């Protein structure tokens, strides 16, 4: 896992804005997630209802608004507006929204091919 701030981005004129952080030439999937107050993402969505969520590729989160916690392999990390988090393949991850200031998060994956 990597955690950065927007000011840490370097040359953003080629490919996509996160090219130095997220392997792949093109962003191929993603979205904007609005967490409800106190909500936890991906609870019990693993095989047979197990409480883990992993990918085979990297995933990037940009906290657009709010604050909360990132659960990463059962450890808790505070996250706030402006944080950029890169989840490595096979890392179990969940986002928990703050009760008073819930998370709004841009998430994306990248590939070397336009899909």
pTM (2 decimals)? Answer: 0.84
pLDDT digits (tens, 9 = 90+) for 8-57: 776 666 677 888 888 888 888 999 999 999 999 987 665 555 677 888 88
Helix (H, G, I), strand (E, B) or coil at 6: helix
Q: How confident is the model at residue 115 (pLDDT cuts 50, 70, 90)?
A: low
CB-side exposure of 91: number of CA atoms within 13 Å?
A: 18
Which contiguous run of DSSP H or E holds residue 103? none
Mean pLDDT over the full length of the chain: 87
State which CATH number among 2.60.120.10, 3.40.190.10, 3.40.50.300, 1.20.1250.20 fits the domain covering 2-111. Answer: 2.60.120.10
């Amino acid at each position: 896992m990597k955690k950065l701030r927007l000011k840490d981005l370097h040359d953003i004129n080629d490919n996509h804005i996160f090219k130095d952080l997220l392997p792949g030439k093109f962003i191929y999937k993603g979205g904007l997630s609005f967490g409800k107050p106190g909500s936890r993402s991906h609870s019990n969505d693993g095989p047979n209802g197990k409480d883990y969520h992993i990918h085979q590729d990297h995933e990037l989160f940009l906290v657009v608004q709010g604050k909360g916690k990132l659960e990463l392999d059962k450890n808790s990390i505070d996250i706030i507006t402006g944080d950029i988090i890169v989840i490595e393949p096979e890392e179990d991850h969940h986002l928990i929204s703050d009760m008073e200031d819930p998370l709004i998060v841009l998430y994306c994956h990248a590939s070397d091919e336009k899909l």
